[in-house]
């Protein structure tokens, strides 16, 4: 407890938002993983950007995007012609360069230096003219920075691949935004609505209850202030990392699913906290002191506030909790004793 009842009430309320947001995030993560939306978004991008055909070993013609997905460095255990949820930037650059430079008449040919890469890009018909010019510009930049590359202990070809990797990473950031807008945010809204209504998580009723029961508010506040130090924070950070679609995503789909499983294990703990006699759930009747109109108005308003809070997400409320915790621990700076003097 902080000694300030209103601060404990606010911290307890925010802590409830935080726990409910984790539950909502876990459900959304399950949906995204189960329906493989990440893989579908990445596959759509690859097939749209690399739509030209390329010849593979055996003389088969496929889209370059499909060839990159099916490359041995990227495919993992995904079925042929479909993408995994994550492709590492280095593996992507290597697969792209290998497929673009592949010569059906000389299957042993590989790119050895930057000049070979420029020649392969120039002669390739598997890239759109626009994308080909972009990659050739990257190659020229690597050649122009040759002296700097040598000082860094890397070859011009490695510097060129690094530029492709950076281009891929920036593209993944935009794809991540698309995934959030098209899938994550709609499901977050839907799950927030269902969870709030199902639990009857009425912000107004909860705030009234905490105001009337300062001891419960104090307990919740104590847990809220300690949130940054417990395993719940670690699980939240893993969940945030797992949600990323860019090159900083979890290393494999298995790790992604492991993060989700670990996070789901915390739901029971979160529920245990929420069960501390809080006004959750739907009682048979709870409007005897007010008219039906006032009751419905208050109920709708309270539920809408909770829904909007859950949509903000657990990371937002975690940051707010940290700020409140710092505010609670702040105070007047103690005076500094003057340095002792030798007489």
Query: Given 107, 138, 169, which residue is the final one in a domain?
Result: 169
Q: Mean pLDDT throughout 5-24?
A: 87
Tell me the percentage of the chain whose pLDDT exceeds 90.
45
Rounded CA-CA distance 66/80 in Å is 8
In a 10 Å sphere around its CB, with 0-12 CB exposed, 13-18 middle and 19+ buried, how is residue 294 labelled?
exposed
Rounded CA separation 12/4 (Å): 12
Last residue in a domain, options 169, 189, 218: 169
pLDDT tens digit sequence for 267-324: 455 555 555 567 888 876 555 666 888 888 999 999 999 999 999 988 888 888 878 7
Kindly state whether residue 58 falls inside one of the protein's structural domains: yes
Kindly state whether residue 96 falls inside one of the protein's structural domains. yes
* Structural domain contains residue 301: yes
In-domain check, residue 86: yes
Q: What pLDDT score was predicted for residue 245?
A: 43
pLDDT tens for 209-227 read: 888 888 888 888 887 777 6
Contact of 28 with 241, CB cutoff 8 Å? no
- pLDDT (average), residues 327-335: 52
Please check whether residue 28 is in contact with residue 187, taking contact to mean a CB–CB distance below 8 angstroms: yes
Output the pLDDT for position 146: 92
Burial 229-241 (b: 16+ CB within 10 A, else e): eeebbebbebbee
- pLDDT beyond 60 at 145: yes
pTM above 0.85, yes or no: no
Q: What would the two tokens of residue 182 be?
A: 């098209």
Alpha helices (H) in the chain, listed in sequence order: 5-34, 37-49, 64-69, 89-101, 114-123, 129-144, 146-151, 156-179, 185-199, 203-212, 214-225, 231-243, 253-264, 267-274, 292-312, 314-329
What average pLDDT does the chain have? 81
For residues 45 and 165, state if they share a domain.
yes
pLDDT score of 76 more than 50: yes
User: Is the domain of 110 the same as that of 187?
Assistant: no
Residue 339 lies in a domain: no
Query: Does pLDDT of 228 surpass 90?
Result: no
136 and 9 in one domain?
Answer: no
- Per-residue pLDDT for 64 more than 70? yes
Task: Answer whether residue 18 is part of any domain.
Answer: yes
Examine residue 206 and state whether it is found in any structural domain, yes or no: yes
- Which pLDDT score, from 0 to 100, does residue 7 have? 82
Same domain, 233 and 280: yes
CB-CB contact of 91 with 73 (8 Å): yes
DSSP state of 266: T
Whether pLDDT at 331 is above 50: no
Residues 17 and 78 in one domain: no
Over 70: is that where the pLDDT of 74 sits? yes
> What is residue 176's three-state secondary structure?
helix
Same-domain pairing of 165 and 263: no
Three-state secondary-structure class, residue 248: coil
Mean per-residue pLDDT for 170-174? 93
Give the range of the structural domain holding residue 229, as residue numbers without chain letter. Answer: 5-36+174-329
pLDDT of residue 240: 52
Query: Which residues, in sequence order, are bridge partners of residue 63?
Result: 53
Residue with tokens 């006032």: 294
Same domain, 62 and 17: no
pLDDT at res. 73: 86
Q: Which of 65, 42, 36 is nearest to 171 (CA)?
A: 42
- Rg over alpha carbons for the chain, rounded to the nearest Å, is 28
Per the structure, how many domains does the chain have? 2
Nearest one of 51, 77, 85 to 65, comparing CA atoms = 51
Q: Is the model's pLDDT at 169 over the cut of 80?
A: yes
- HSE, CB side, 13 Å, CA atoms: give it for residue 306: 32
The answer to whether residues 156 and 196 belong to one domain is no
Residue where one domain finishes, among candidates 169, 186, 207? 169
Q: Are residues 232 and 184 in the same domain?
A: yes
Same domain (yes/no): 249, 311: yes
Q: What is the dihedral of CA 164, 170, 176, 178, to 10 degrees?
A: -100
Lowest mean pLDDT among 85-94, 209-218, 334-343: 334-343
Rounded Cα distance between 338 and 342, Å, is 12
What pLDDT is stored for residue 1 in this prediction?
Answer: 53
Three-class SS state of 215 = helix
Which one is predicted more confidently, 266 or 26? 26
∠ CA 301-305-309, nearest 5°, is 170
pLDDT of residue 60: 83
Q: Which residues of 42-57 are buried (b: 16+ CB within 10 A; e: fewer)?
A: bbebbbeebebebbbe
- Do 109 and 236 sit in the same domain of this protein? no
Does residue 340 lie within any of the structural domains?
no
Does residue 187 or residue 338 have the better pLDDT?
Answer: 187
CA pair distance 343, 332, nearest whole angstrom: 32
- For residues 25 and 69, membership in a common domain is answered with no
Per-residue pLDDT of 236-271, as tens digits, reads 554 455 444 443 444 444 444 454 455 445 445 555
């Amino acid at each position: 407890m902080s000694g300030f009842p209103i601060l404990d009430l606010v911290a307890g309320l925010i802590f409830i938002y935080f726990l409910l947001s984790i539950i909502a995030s876990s459900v959304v993560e399950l949906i995204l993983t189960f329906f493989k939306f990440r893989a579908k978004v990445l596959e759509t991008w690859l097939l749209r950007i690399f739509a030209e055909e390329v010849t593979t070993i055996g003389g088969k013609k496929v889209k370059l995007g499909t060839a990159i997905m099916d490359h041995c460095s990227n495919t993992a255990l995904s079925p042929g012609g479909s993408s995994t949820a994550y492709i590492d930037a280095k593996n992507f650059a290597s697969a792209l360069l290998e497929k673009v430079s592949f010569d059906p008449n000389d299957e042993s040919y590989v790119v050895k230096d930057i000049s070979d890469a420029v020649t392969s890009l120039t002669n390739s018909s598997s890239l759109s003219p626009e994308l080909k010019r972009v990659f050739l510009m990257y190659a020229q930049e690597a050649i122009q920075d040759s002296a700097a590359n040598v000082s860094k202990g890397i070859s011009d070809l490695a510097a060129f691949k690094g530029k492709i990797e950076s281009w891929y990473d920036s593209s993944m950031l935009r794809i991540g935004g698309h995934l959030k807008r098209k899938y994550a945010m709609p499901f977050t809204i839907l799950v927030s609505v269902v969870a709030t209504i199902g639990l009857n998580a009425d912000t107004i009723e909860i705030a009234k209850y905490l105001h009337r029961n300062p001891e419960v508010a104090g307990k919740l506040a104590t847990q809220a202030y300690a949130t940054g130090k417990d395993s719940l924070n670690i699980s939240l950070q893993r969940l945030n990392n797992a949600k990323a679609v860019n090159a900083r995503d979890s290393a494999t789909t298995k790790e992604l699913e492991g993060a989700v499983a670990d996070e789901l294990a915390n739901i029971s703990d979160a529920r245990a906290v929420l069960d501390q006699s809080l006004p959750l759930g739907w009682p048979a009747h709870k409007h005897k002191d007010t008219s039906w109109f006032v009751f419905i108005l208050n109920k709708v308003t309270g539920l809408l506030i909770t829904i909007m809070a859950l949509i903000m997400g657990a990371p937002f409320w975690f940051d707010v909790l940290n700020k409140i915790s710092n505010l609670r621990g702040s105070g007047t700076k103690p005076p500094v004793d003057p340095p002792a003097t030798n007489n």
